[in-house]
């Protein structure tokens, strides 16, 4: 039966090819939205996992810059008083607090690349902990840097920032977030670099004494991170907190318009295609009515005719769905960075689980649309009296 | 084999009642080759399709091998057609994407029943004079060859009854003779045949000839 259906599909390449493309468009529209949401959400989770932080404390007036650094890696420099670290550590529920200094490099000759420099205190830092834990043979030493995945530079090579030479000690795995375009270095090296920049760089950088940019926090009980974040806001003046949930909801908000457009495209494609596909199924059944009558004469039951007609459209829709997923995956992966910049959200390849679920859901929905479009035609064809079916087409 | 009594078929055409079959009684014994002749529109095809359960009579009773067709469910009637009846239509009705062999085994493909003897279909193609054509698509077969494939398709399940509707229409005289000789050979091997045609010249091939006229079936004077 399947062989009969597939041969019948192949026999009408133009019509069925057009149908497959229609279904592919529907599947691609449905899948792309899920891909973007899952990719962005996973990206944020990966970044937070990489940073190892449950809460990020930023200066209240630089909240947006902090988000931009974390989500999109837009280089930025901002500071607040390092005394904040002590205040934050005293808040109930805080297990660990690690200060970081954010320094944006200049688009000039000062540096090897336009990046975000993130200065850490290795004795307190847990932000690139997972990576460093895997590379214990290579602790971050004096004048050493660790590059984000998108940055160019071989391990062991030398890069210059504000005239100061740094040895590339390692490279992080991709996250699809700001971490990928960041350079990690020790805070004391950053301060030496800043001091030297007055003499060595066209645009000197200043890191004010006693200032830091953000405080990354690990809470004692991750389930209570929201309450701890509230307590920090209540007890520490001049700060805003960024939580994983907040970042994910920010990404969701930024993606909302894009998702709506994709959902609308899927809806329009479905609404336009469904009647057309239904009409094509009616035409296909009509032109094959004599064949259907002959098959009934050969012993096919009504149910078999129903499966034959609906099965053809289900297989076409399935093929279209798979094609749509394959093409949209290739396009989304090829233009991942472009989409990320255009939509303004971090984007990574979603985890295998959510990717498979999204792909299966899109294929099933598309196949369902094919089944619905052919359902009534298949019922009508199956119920047509064989004699009437055989004589159809006769004048 | 076939027992028909009081068969009536009424069509409504433009509000007018048409009775192509008006109280037909008919019996056919196993092994007979019955030719039903009649003018176009006399009801021959309608009668044949009722015998095969492809349409229902308005009234009357049709029994095939003791099974009253009107009382069978769709599945039972389909099974009867698959197991007992082989149809040969005026048009060959071969599926264009399938090869000759695949068309012959189509009933197995569409019903999902595995053929008892897969090699039999190929043997049949040889028997109807088409050796070496098993893998040929219908588009590359002549009219006579198409008809032969259709006959092989009707025979593939070893039916006890063949219902043939104008099987030699549109064929040249030579091919017509060949096809009729094939039917006679099939009949001689024990298969019952009921054939309808407008061509009275085919009468010599049949064991009994009947005439459909004015909704009734009568013996035909040869």
Query: What region does A299 belong to: left with phi over 0, alpha with psi -120 to 50, or beta?
Result: left
A chain contacts of residue B78, beta-carbon cutoff 8 Å: 296, 299-301, 304
Q: What is the pLDDT of residue A212?
A: 87
Q: Quick: pLDDT tens for B149-160.
A: 998 898 888 899
3-class DSSP assignment, residue B14:
coil
Q: What is the domain count for chain B?
A: 1
Residues 6+ apart with CB under 8 A from A193: A161, A162, A163, A164, A185, A205
Residues 72-131 of B with CB under 8 A from A: 74-75, 78-79, 81-83, 87, 89, 91, 93, 95-98, 102, 106-107, 109-112
Q: Quick: pLDDT tens for B188-211.
A: 989 999 999 988 888 888 999 999
Q: What is the pLDDT of residue A395?
A: 46
Residue A54 · residue A215 · CB < 8 Å: no
Residues 6+ apart with CB under 8 A from A215: A56, A57, A84, A85, A88, A97, A98, A99, A100
Q: Quick: pLDDT tens for B22-35.
A: 889 999 999 999 99
Residues 49-68 of B with CB under 8 A from A: 49, 52, 54-56
Residues from A in contact with B at Cβ < 8 Å: 1, 3-4, 7-8, 10-11, 290-291, 293-304, 308, 385-388, 390
Whether residue B147 is contained in a domain is answered as: no
Nearest Cα of chain B lies from the Cα of A305 at a distance, in angstroms, of 8
- pLDDT-based confidence at B36, cuts 50/70/90? very high
Whether residue B201 is contained in a domain is answered as: yes
CATH number at residue B185: 3.40.50.300
B chain contacts of residue A304, beta-carbon cutoff 8 Å: 78, 110-112
Q: Which domain holds residue B9?
A: 2-93+159-219
Domain ranges for chain A, please list them: 2-44+250-391, 55-242
Residue A144 · residue A169 · CB < 8 Å: yes
Nearest Cα of chain A lies from the Cα of B74 at a distance, in angstroms, of 6
Compute the distance between CA of residue A291 and CA of residue A385 in angstroms, rounded to an integer: 13
Q: What is the pLDDT of residue A108?
A: 44
Q: For residue A300, give the nearest of B52, B98, B110 by CB distance.
A: B110
- pLDDT-based confidence at B100, cuts 50/70/90? very high
pLDDT 10s digit of each residue in chain A, 395 long? Answer: 788 888 888 888 888 898 899 899 888 888 888 788 788 777 777 766 666 678 888 888 777 777 776 666 666 778 888 888 888 888 888 888 888 888 887 654 455 556 788 898 877 877 665 566 666 555 678 899 988 888 888 888 998 888 889 998 888 877 666 777 788 899 889 989 988 888 877 777 888 888 888 888 888 888 888 888 889 888 888 888 888 777 777 777 777 777 788 778 778 877 887 788 888 888 888 888 888 999 999 999 999 999 988 999 899 999 999 999 999 999 988 887 787 777 767 677 777 888 898 899 999 999 998 888 888 888 988 998 888 888 875 54
Record: contact A11-B97, CB cut-off 8 A: yes
Res. B58: pLDDT tops 70? yes
Q: What is the pLDDT of residue A49?
A: 67
Record: contact B110-A298, CB cut-off 8 A: yes
């Amino acid at each position: 039966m399947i062989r009969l259906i597939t041969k019948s599909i192949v026999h009408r390449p133009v019509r069925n090819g057009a149908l497959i493309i229609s279904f592919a468009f529907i599947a691609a529209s449905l899948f792309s939205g899920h891909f973007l949401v899952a990719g962005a959400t996973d990206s944020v989770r990966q970044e937070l996992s990489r940073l190892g932080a449950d809460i990020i404390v930023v200066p209240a007036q630089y909240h947006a810059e902090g988000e931009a650094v974390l989500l999109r890696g837009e280089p930025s420099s901002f500071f607040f008083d390092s005394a904040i670290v002590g205040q934050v550590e005293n808040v109930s529920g805080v297990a660990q607090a690690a200060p970081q200094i954010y320094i944006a490099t200049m688009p000039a000759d000062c540096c090897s690349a336009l990046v975000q420099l993130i200065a850490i205190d290795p004795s307190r830092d847990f932000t690139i902990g997972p990576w460093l834990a895997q590379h214990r043979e290579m602790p971050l030493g004096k004048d050493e840097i660790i590059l984000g995945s998108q940055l160019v530079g071989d391990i062991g090579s030398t890069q210059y920032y504000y005239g100061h030479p740094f040895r590339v000690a390692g490279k992080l795995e991709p996250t699809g977030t700001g971490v990928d375009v960041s350079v990690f270095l020790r805070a004391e090296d950053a301060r030496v670099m800043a001091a030297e920049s007055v003499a060595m760089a066209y645009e000197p950088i200043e890191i004010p004494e006693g200032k830091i940019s953000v405080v990354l926090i690990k809470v004692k009980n991750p389930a209570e991170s929201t309450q701890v974040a509230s307590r920090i806001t209540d007890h520490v003046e001049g700060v805003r907190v960024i939580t994983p949930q907040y970042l994910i909801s920010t990404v969701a908000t930024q993606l909302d318009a894009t998702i709506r457009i994709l959902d609308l495209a899927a809806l329009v494609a479905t609404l336009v295609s469904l009647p057309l596909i239904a009409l094509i199924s009616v035409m296909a059944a009509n032109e094959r009515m004599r064949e259907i009558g002959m098959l009934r004469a050969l012993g096919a039951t009504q149910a078999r005719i129903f499966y034959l007609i609906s099965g053809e459209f289900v297989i076409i829709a399935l093929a279209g769905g798979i094609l749509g997923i394959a093409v949209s995956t290739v396009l989304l992966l090829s233009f991942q960075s472009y989409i990320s910049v255009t939509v303004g959200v971090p984007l990574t390849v979603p985890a295998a689980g959510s990717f498979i679920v999204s792909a299966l859901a899109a294929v099933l929905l598309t196949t369902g649309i094919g089944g619905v479009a052919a359902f009534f035609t298949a019922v009508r064809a199956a119920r047509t009296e064989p004699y009437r079916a055989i004589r159809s087409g006769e004048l | 084999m076939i027992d028909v009594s009081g068969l009536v078929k009424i069509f409504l055409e433009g509000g007018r009642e048409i009775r192509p079959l008006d109280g037909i009684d008919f019996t056919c014994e196993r092994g007979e080759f019955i030719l039903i002749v009649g003018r176009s529109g006399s009801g021959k095809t309608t009668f044949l399709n009722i015998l095969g359960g492809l349409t229902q009579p308005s009234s009357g009773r049709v029994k095939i091998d003791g099974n009253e067709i009107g009382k069978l469910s769709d599945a039972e009637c389909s099974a009867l057609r698959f197991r007992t009846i082989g149809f040969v239509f005026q048009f060959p009705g071969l599926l264009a994407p399938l090869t000759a062999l695949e068309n012959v085994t189509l009933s197995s493909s569409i019903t999902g029943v595995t053929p008892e003897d897969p090699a039999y279909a190929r043997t049949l193609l040889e028997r109807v004079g088409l050796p070496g054509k098993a893998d040929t698509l219908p588009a590359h077969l002549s009219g006579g060859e198409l008809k032969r494939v259709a006959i092989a398709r009707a025979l593939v399940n070893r039916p006890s009854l063949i219902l043939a509707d104008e099987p030699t229409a549109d064929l040249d005289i030579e091919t017509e003779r060949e096809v009729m000789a094939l039917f006679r050979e099939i009949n001689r091997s024990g298969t019952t045949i009921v054939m309808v045609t407008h061509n009275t010249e085919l009468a010599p091939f049949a064991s009994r000839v009947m005439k459909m006229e004015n909704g009734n079936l009568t013996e035909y004077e040869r």
